[in-house]
Structure 1
Amino acid sequence: MLGDGAIDPVTARQLLLDAGRFTRVITDPVTGVILDMDRRSRLVTRAQREWLMLTHHLCVRDGCNRVAIDAEIDHWQEYHGPERGATNIANLHPLCGTDHRLKSRTKLSYRRRRDGSVGIASPTGFATHVPWWRVPAVVPEKPPF
Structure 2
Amino acid sequence: MNSHDDDPFTLTERLSDPQIVQLHNLIRQQWWGTKRILTDVQSMVQNTSLMLGLIRRSDDQLVGYCRVLTDFVFRATIYDVMIDKTLQGRGLGKQLIDALCNHPKLQCVSFLYLACDPELYAFYETWGFKPYQGKAQWMIKVQREE
Q: Do Structure 1 and Structure 2 share a fold, with TM-score over 0.5?
A: no
For the pair shown, the structure with the greater C-alpha radius of gyration is: 1
Q: Which has the higher strand share?
A: 2
Q: What is the TM-score with the length of structure 2 in the denominator?
A: 0.31
Q: What is the TM-score with the length of structure 1 in the denominator?
A: 0.32
